[in-house]
Chain A
């Protein structure tokens, strides 16, 4: 009995807790990608850099607040700086749309042109971000480190394996839940949200029914920018902020969006968790779990690991490729908000 409880604690500590946090971050990112895809019909490669930009502004404001002595102690200061970061990301996105993307919308450019344009945008925003904040690693989490410490858990339950929950993980999951619920409520309950869904489903018909396309596009950018800034900040809080990371984060985010079904918000959420959990499940070494369940060394002394942890990121790409192979439309097939 205790053996199975211990192995459960191991799985919770090394797979479920980090999986939920990372999955929420991916889900928020993928939701932004999917939103742009559903409304503007292109894959926005610059999304990672928008996340980075929003997080950067949050960090700068955090430093400023820290200088002023404002804090919300057990919680990190970044949470009260986040609204400014969101505002900055929204301004950036609206500016981008006005200066860059609206031109191609009028031209009804094809999706590859959009893709290349978004790569150009990615270069520019990435350069600006690194120019302002520099390429270094930054840790700006000044809140309490743990919600549940491994030792406290061990003392509470008497198990030999501990479960630790970092406060950044708890904050990530909680705020992702709130944000996702808000977005879904907006899309399904409000008139404006419904008009967005209608536009994504059939732009011409929506135009005919009196929906203003400019307003829909405006809202799509606002929501995307907000999601991006939140996702970027949460990722930075949880791991640490480094501008270079976001270029590589784009791929798992796209993987999440595609696995769930590009254009489907529910799919983006599910996809995020699928990617996060499979990364952890496939690269986790089950040696200790097996030892608790079956006794030491029954299954040999290998690590019992499907793929070594080096390939953690590669797993998301492998899943992406497999999904593209067997079901290119993703789990929740189809494009519509």
Chain B
């Protein structure tokens, strides 16, 4: 046992002494090999869909890294921002449902203006009555209740009317009917706008309160998307979003495509879906590189130096005349925008918006594991973490199943323990992720690619 540990420390020391570039390219090469193994042993289609999801995860991890690695802000609301990006994909790309607008558009708009008015008057009254004790609470609550009730008096019939319009197919307002790639930008902006509000509310809090507040707010966002059918169709999902890349069926019908595949002697169906996936890979890679370029440039600029100074010692940074709260808000908004972009890309890739698929485990905590394992504060680390963790998140299931089948192969095929283990093998990935996170935090807290000393 001690021999193993010695070996481990030797390897670790060796890793440290390797020049950074060599180590990084080694890690990247290992990752590429892993994907290639999947390609050869399972299928290239699977390898490419893994790669696409890895790219999206990497962008999300980059967004979190901007908040956590640069500024030390613990954002546990990643799920909410990703979902907002997804919402943008729907609102931009789907064709508007004119009948629904005619049925309830006016009532809805009127109701919402009352809602906005209520919020402003609550804010006004709250500020105005700051020295009047319990009167402050009762008046605010009264305005809130009356305002909400009036708003719902107008919006409730309007939403019912909208949801009644051809409920099986639409039953919502639809979108703007624009190209879906445009929604990536809008998704970023939408997430940034919401992040600004959330940041205004919660950035003054203690770091672990910030985590709980953002976690709670992200849940509220998901509830909103799940139950406001007039906007998102709720649990009925929005399917068949337009694509930025060609459809497989169109490719298969092209004469030139059939010719190429017959000369290469590959199946038309496989080749077409592979090409579609490769197109996505190309676009995603371009976005990833752009985000990395921006964040690396920012990190090297005086802005990055200032952010690190604030992260490492807020008091000293304040003494140097830096407005810590303002910078925190800025970096929170920027990071959330990146997450929103990734969320919109994810929905584009899936071709459907499913509010119920947003689970904190998958969208918040998993992204956190990516950032921490990759190496917080290092963009390349976040990217690598996104790749590695997504890969293992998907592959842990078949590997775990294989391992359990192998380990229990000595037992009778009808042994209850064996059956139980095989049935519940899927849950091993949760255990694996937790263990990987705990071991990294304990033995290599700076991650696979540690932050560079500057």
Contact = CB atoms under 8 A, between A and B. Distances in A.
A324 B365 contact: no
A130 B427 contact: yes
Interface stretch (A58-66, A108-116, A193-201): A108-116
A211 to B, nearest CB: 26
B209 interface: yes
A307 B228 CA distance: 12
Interface string A297-329: 000001000111011011011101100110010
Contacts of A311: 223, 227
A198 to B, nearest CB: 23
A241 interface: no
B223 A313 contact: yes
B434 A320 contact: no
Contacts of B442: 100, 103
B149 interface: yes
A306 B197 CA distance: 23
Interface in A131-185: 131-132, 134-135
Nearest to B434: A123
B361 A131 contact: no
A306 B420 CA distance: 46
A264 B433 CA distance: 33
B365 A130 contact: no
B361 A115 contact: no
Nearest to A324: B213
A324 B201 contact: yes
B226 A258 contact: no
Contacts of A316: 216
A125 B152 CA distance: 43
Given A317-B219, A320-B216, A115 B74 contact: yes
B437 interface: yes
Interface stretch (A7-15, A84-92, A247-255): A247-255
A128 B431 contact: yes
A295 interface: no
Interface in B148-181: 148-149, 152-153, 156
Interface in A231-289: 247-248, 251, 254-255, 258
B213 A123 contact: no
B430 interface: yes
B441 A116 contact: yes
B317 interface: no
A11 to B, nearest CB: 17
A222 to B, nearest CB: 22
A74 interface: no
Contacts of A103: 442
B207 A302 contact: no
B49 interface: no
Nearest to A243: B427
B205 interface: yes
Contacts, number: 131
Interface in B386-424: 420, 423-424
A293 interface: no
Contacts of B258: none
The winner among A127, A248, A258, A306 for most chain B CB atoms within 10 A is A127
A120 B206 contact: no
B434 A314 contact: no
Contacts of B72: 112
Given A135-B427, A328-B209, A321 B217 contact: yes
B217 A324 contact: no
B215 A251 contact: yes
Interface in B210-238: 211-213, 215-217, 219-220, 223-224, 226-227
Contacts of B372: 116
Contacts of A123: 365, 430-431, 433-434, 437
A97 B333 CA distance: 36
B433 A324 contact: no
Contact of B207 (A111, A130, A320): A111
Contact of A121 (B153, B212, B434): B434
A126 interface: yes
B428 interface: yes
Interface string B246-289: 00000000000000000000000000000000000000000000
Contacts of B227: 308, 310-311
Given A113-B441, A127-B427, A302-B153, A318 B220 contact: yes
B201 A116 contact: no
A294 interface: no
Interface in B45-78: 72, 74
Nearest to A131: B427
A116 B219 contact: no
Contact of B220 (A119, A127, A128, A314): A314
Contacts of A112: 72, 74, 207-208, 211
Given A111-B208, A258-B209, A127 B430 contact: yes
A307 B72 CA distance: 36
A183 B279 CA distance: 62
Contacts of A53: none
Nearest to A304: B149
B211 A43 contact: yes
A124 B427 contact: no
A182 B368 CA distance: 39
Contacts of B145: 306
A132 B207 CA distance: 34
A122 interface: yes
A117 interface: yes
A221 interface: no
A51 to B, nearest CB: 17
A42 interface: yes
Nearest to A314: B223
12 contacts: A43-B211, A100-B442, A110-B207, A111-B206, A117-B441, A120-B369, A120-B441, A127-B431, A127-B434, A251-B219, A318-B220, A321-B217
Given A116-B441, A317-B219, A324-B205, 20 more contacts: A43-B208, A115-B207, A116-B437, A119-B365, A120-B438, A121-B434, A124-B434, A130-B424, A131-B428, A132-B424, A134-B423, A134-B424, A247-B360, A258-B209, A310-B227, A311-B227, A313-B219, A320-B213, A321-B213, A324-B213
The 7 tightest CB contacts between A and B, nearest first, are: A123-B434, A127-B430, A127-B431, A124-B434, A317-B216, A120-B437, A310-B227
